[in-house]
């Protein structure tokens, strides 16, 4: 009869240390964060940064391939009772896997040195779910980087990590950059700076028709409730609105970000910057 694997004690220092990572000050001190669920853990193991993995017996059996990848990546495996994993987890319905990962943000200077063509700048985004979703949209659109300014939410907030659905591990992300420095650095790197704002003077469709969207571009996205302050809008090269053709009052932040980023991605891949077929 096979022996039952030994479970980590609920009073273990490793459990205590992992539980504390739900709080921002401890994440910053240890430069570690939590990645929950099979998708996030798989991406963490595949792309680096996974240090420890807490898994219930059921999850370790169900996701044996992920556990094997984690071990191959050098992560330390802790088998745990469901109550222990639930105590570490920040979700209402834990999926049985919680990873502890190293911080993986990229220095802003490295992003600039790579001469990015498409960048999402989160200038005043305070909701972690929105931040993670925009990061996911940027990843899907093929953006080269994401920048979170010093006025935005913590990249490693558990809600932001979950909302990114693994995209956090796919592309360079700079954090804590003053918006003025972000705009200045990107512009010096040859990137056009566009603010996304529902009250913008320029229309996204018109920008596409003019063929101006094919150049390297950074989209600056603002706060969910009040958008971008005037001083931030003034830093950019143009303030662009997503046209509302129906009766909807507006688009939420993540939806608008997806539209803008995909518009740039399409234009950058088109021979003439997505110029209208009716244009000269």
**Structure confidence by residue, pLDDT tens digits, 271-280:** 654 544 434 3
Exposed / middle / buried, residue 29 (Cβ in 10 Å: 0-12, 13-18, 19+): exposed
Q: Are 260 and 222 in contact (CB under 8 A)?
A: no
Q: 78, 102, 126: which is the final residue of a domain? A: 102
For residue 37, what is the DSSP state? S
Residue 278 lies in a domain: no
186 within a domain of the structure (yes/no) = yes
Residues above pLDDT 70, as percent of the chain? 95
Q: How far apart (Å, rounded) are the C-alpha atoms in residues 70 and 231?
A: 46
Is 187 a member of any domain?
Answer: yes
**Does residue 163 fall inside a structural domain?**
yes
What's the confidence (pLDDT) of residue 1? Answer: 41
152 and 90 within one domain: no
Task: Residue 260: give the domain boundaries.
Answer: 108-269
Q: Would you give the DSSP letter of residue 69?
A: H
Q: What CATH number does residue 77 fall under?
A: 3.30.1330.30
Please check whether residues 80 and 125 belong to one and the same domain.
no
180 and 78 together in one domain:
no
The answer on 58 and 117 residing in a single domain is no
Quick: pLDDT tens for 9-39. 999 999 999 999 999 999 999 999 999 999 9
Average pLDDT over residues 246-254: 87
77 and 209 in a single domain? The answer is no
Q: 21 with 75, same domain? A: yes
Q: What pLDDT is stored for residue 251 in this prediction?
A: 86
Q: What value does the mean pLDDT take over residues 78-100?
A: 93
In a domain, 207, yes or no: yes
State how many domains the chain has.
2
pTM, to two decimals: 0.89
- Distance in Å from the first CA to the final CA of the chain: 79
Q: Which residues pair with 85 in a beta bridge?
A: none
Together in a domain, 236 and 260: yes
Contacts of 112 (CB under 8 A, 6+ apart): 185, 186, 188, 189
In a domain, 1, yes or no: no
CATH code (residue 203): 3.40.1280.10
Mean pLDDT over all residues of the chain? 91
**Same domain membership, residue 234 and residue 148:** yes
* Same domain membership, residue 161 and residue 91: no
Instruction: Name the least confident of 40-49, 160-169, 175-184, 266-275.
Output: 266-275
Q: Kindly state whether residue 5 falls inside one of the protein's structural domains.
A: no
In this structure, the answer to whether residues 116 and 244 fall within a common structural domain is yes
pLDDT reported for residue 108: 97
What DSSP state is assigned to residue 167?
G
Looking at 67, 102, 137, the residue that finishes a domain is 102
Q: Are residues 246 and 176 part of one domain?
A: yes
Residue after which a domain boundary falls, among 85, 102, 119: 102
């Amino acid at each position: 009869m096979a022996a039952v694997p030994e479970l980590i004690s609920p009073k273990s220092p490793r459990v205590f240390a992992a539980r504390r990572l739900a709080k921002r000050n401890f994440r910053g001190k240890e430069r570690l964060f939590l990645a929950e669920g099979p998708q996030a853990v798989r991406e963490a193991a595949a792309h680096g940064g996974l240090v420890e993995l807490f898994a219930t017996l059921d999850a370790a059996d169900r996701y044996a391939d992920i556990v094997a990848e984690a071990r191959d990546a050098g992560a330390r495996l802790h088998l745990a009772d469901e109550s222990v994993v639930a105590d570490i987890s920040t979700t209402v319905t834990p999926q049985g896997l919680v990873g502890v990962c190293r911080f993986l943000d990229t220095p802003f200077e490295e992003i600039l040195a790579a001469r990015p063509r498409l960048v999402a700048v989160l200038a005043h985004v305070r909701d972690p779910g929105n931040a993670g979703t925009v990061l996911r949209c940027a990843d899907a659109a093929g953006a080269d980087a994401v920048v979170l300014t010093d006025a935005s939410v913590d990249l490693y907030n558990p809600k932001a990590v979950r909302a990114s659905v693994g995209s956090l591990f796919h592309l360079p992300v700079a954090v804590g950059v003053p918006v003025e420095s972000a705009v200045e650095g990107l512009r010096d790197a040859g990137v056009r700076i566009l603010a996304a704002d529902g009250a913008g003077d320029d229309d996204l469709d018109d920008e596409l028709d003019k063929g101006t969207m094919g150049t390297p571009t950074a989209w600056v996205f603002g706060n969910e409730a009040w958008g971008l302050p005037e001083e931030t809008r003034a830093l950019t090269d143009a303030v662009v609105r997503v046209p509302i053709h129906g009766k909807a009052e507006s688009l939420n932040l993540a939806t608008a970000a997806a539209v803008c980023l995909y518009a740039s991605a399409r234009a950058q891949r088109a021979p003439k910057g997505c110029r209208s077929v009716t244009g000269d």
